Structure 1
Amino acid sequence: MPGRLQYKSALITGAGSGIGLESSLLFAQEGANVLLVDINLAAAERGVTLIRDRFPEVRALAFRADVGLEADVKAAVDLAVKEFGRLDIMFNNAGIMHPNDDNALNTEERIWDLTMTINVKGVWWGCKYAILAMRQNPVDEIKGLRSGGSIINTASFVAIMGAATPQLAYTASKGAVLAMTRELAMVHAREGIRVNSICPGPLKTPLLMDFLNTPEKRERRLVHLPMGRFGEAVEVAKGALFLGSDDSSYVTGTDFKVDGGLTSCYVTPVGEPALSPPASLI
C-alpha cells in the first residue's frame, strides 16, 4: 500500500535529533525522499543510516547547514531539488532555546539577536527558497494546477499563551513565526503552496530538558499540563506528517497545536495521576 508521502520529497531542518529526527523517520516510512539538514552533520548522518536500514526503498541524504546563514539555507534547498528533482515539503524545524534566555531585564542583546537570527530569519529564508523551488514543481494534469507544496514552520505554545519560565527571546521569536506563517499562507495560497505552523507543547527533547535543567523548572511546566506529562517528539512528527501530506490539502495558515491540551487549559486539576505515553511511543 503506498505511503501518504509516496513520490514526494522533503527537506527537514534540525533533523539530527528530536522532532526533526522523528519526522525524518516518519516521512521516510511514508514513502518520501528526505534531505536531513542539521548544523551537526554527524547527527544528520546517523539519521540517514537509520532510514537506509529501515526503509531502503527511499532516498535519504544528510547536509550540514547553519540556518542562521542565508547561503546555507539556499544551498540546502538547491541540493534537495538537484537530488530529488523537486521539493514538496519544507519543514523549517531548526531552532534554539538558549539557556541564558530570560526575562526583559536579564536577557542579553547577543542572546536576543542570536535567537532571532536562527528562529526567525532561518524560517524566513527556508520559506523563501522553498517557495521559489515549489513554483517550479510540475502542473497536476488532473487538476490543471501547479502541485505547489507544503511548508511547515515549528512555532510553540509559548507564542500563544506565554511561558511560565521566562524565555523572552524564544517566545518573541515563535510569535514572529506564527505571524510570518499566516501572511505567507495568504500570499501564496493561489499558487498551491500551503504554509502552516505547528505548535508543540513541552516535549521530552534535549532542547527543552537542557533548558528545564532543575526539578523545580520541570515541575513548574508540568503543573500546567492537563495530561500531566511532557510530550514525545514523535507525537509532533505525526502532526507534521498530516500537514505535509495531502490529507491536509485544504489546510493553510493554521497554528496546529500538539500540546496535550495546554493552550486550552484554564486550571489544571491538582492531584490527578499523570498519564503515560501510549505504548506505541515508548
Structure 2
Amino acid sequence: MTTQRLSGKVALITGATGGIGAATAELFAREGARLVLADVAEEALAALARRIEETGGQAVSVVLDVSSARQWDDAITTVRERFGTLDVLVNCAGIVDWPGIEDTREEAWDRVIDVNQKGTWLGMRAAMPLLRANGNASVVNTSSVLGLVGSGAAAAYQASKGAVRLLSKTAAVEYARQGVRVNSVHPGVIATPMIQEILDEEGDRQPDIVRTPMRRAGRAEEIAAAMLFLAGDESSFVTGSELVVDGGLTAH
C-alpha cells in the first residue's frame, strides 16, 4: 500500500546505487516521485532505473561524480530538460576512510572532503536556481552520527560530516524565505556495504553496535523513511534540523 506522499514531485538523488541511496530511490518511486538517479556506478545505476521503471515508476539516470562542478551542471541540465522543475534534492553520495589523525593520508583526506563536503555544496549550488523557482522545495543532506560526536577515528569522514551538518544549517537560514527547506539526516550504524567490514566482526569488536541501546544495526529502509519525511510536505515547517536515526547511539 502506498500513500503517494511525493506524488508529482521530481527528486534528484545522488549516491543512488548505495545501500541508503537505493532504498531511498525505491521508496520515493513507490510514493509517486519522478526520479533523477545519480551515481558514478554506471551499470548499477542503469539497473536501478530499470528496476524502478519495471515496477511502474519513472526514473532517469545520470552518471555524476559529485566532486565535479561541470558534471553537476550537466546533471541539472538533464533535470531541466526532462522535467522542467526540481522539488527535492537528496545528497546521499559519500565515501568513508577509517584512519585517525596521524594515519590519514593527504590524498585520502582530499578525496573524502571532495565527495562528502564539497559534493554536497556543489549539489546545492547547482540545484538551487531550480529549487528556488519551484517555491516549495526540500534539500536533504546526508551527514552521520559522526557529524555530531567524536569517535577517535575516521578523521576525514568525521570532518566532512560535521561540515555537512553546519552547511545544511546555514543554507536553511539563507533560503528559509525563498521556498527551500534544508535539513540533514544523521544515520547511526546502518547495515550497508560501506561498513560491511565492521558488521562482519563479532562481539566487543563491534563497539558502535554494543553502544547502541537497541543493540542492532539499522536498515537502509529506516533511513529512507526519514528522507521521505523531510522530502515531503509533512515537514513543511522543518528546516535547519538534524534528524538522527541511530537506535539511541547518541542518546548517552
Alpha-carbon distance in structure 1 between the residues aligned to 2:200 and 2:17 = 21
Give the Å deviation of 1:215: 3.6
**2:209 aligned partner, one-letter code:** L
Q: Is the 8 A contact 1:226 1:262 kept in 2?
A: yes
Give the Å deviation of 1:135: 2.1
- Tell me the equivalent position of 2:18: 17
- Tell me the SS of whatever aligns to 1:161: coil
**1:189 aligned partner, one-letter code:** A
State the identity as a percent: 38
- Tell me the SS of whatever aligns to 1:51: helix
CA RMSD of aligned residues (A): 1.6
Alpha-carbon distance in structure 1 between the residues aligned to 2:6 and 2:249 = 30
- Tell me the equivalent position of 2:29: 28
Large movers: runs of 4+ above 3 Å: 210-218
Alpha-carbon distance in structure 1 between the residues aligned to 2:137 and 2:173 = 14
1:250 equivalent in alignment to 2:249: no
Give the Å deviation of 1:245: 0.2
Alpha-carbon distance in structure 1 between the residues aligned to 2:245 and 2:185 = 7
Gaps of 5+ in 2: none
**1:163 aligned partner, one-letter code:** S
**TM-score, structure 2 as length reference:** 0.95
Gaps of 5+ in 1: 138-146, 266-282
1:108 equivalent in alignment to 2:105: yes
- Tell me the equivalent position of 1:169: 156
Q: Which has the larger displacement, 213-222 or 27-36?
A: 213-222
Alpha-carbon distance in structure 1 between the residues aligned to 2:205 and 2:169 = 31
- State which of 168, 181, 186 in structure 2 corresponds to 1:194: 181
- Tell me the equivalent position of 1:78: 77
Q: Determine which structure has greater relative contact order: mean sequence separation of CA pairs < 8 Å that are 6+ residues apart, divided by chain length.
A: 2
1:7 equivalent in alignment to 2:4: no
Alpha-carbon distance in structure 1 between the residues aligned to 2:73 and 2:203 = 41
Deviations 1:29-81 (A, max 9, x none): 00000011010011111111111121x2x420111111111111221122112
Q: Bigger radius of gyration, 1 or 2?
A: 1
- Tell me the SS of whatever aligns to 1:153: strand
- Tell me the equivalent position of 2:68: 69
Alpha-carbon distance in structure 1 between the residues aligned to 2:249 and 2:58 = 37
Mark the CA change 1:210 to 1:39 in structure 2 (over 3 Å): closer, same or farther: farther
Instruction: List aligned pairs for 1:223-262, cutoff 5 A.
Output: 223-262=210-249
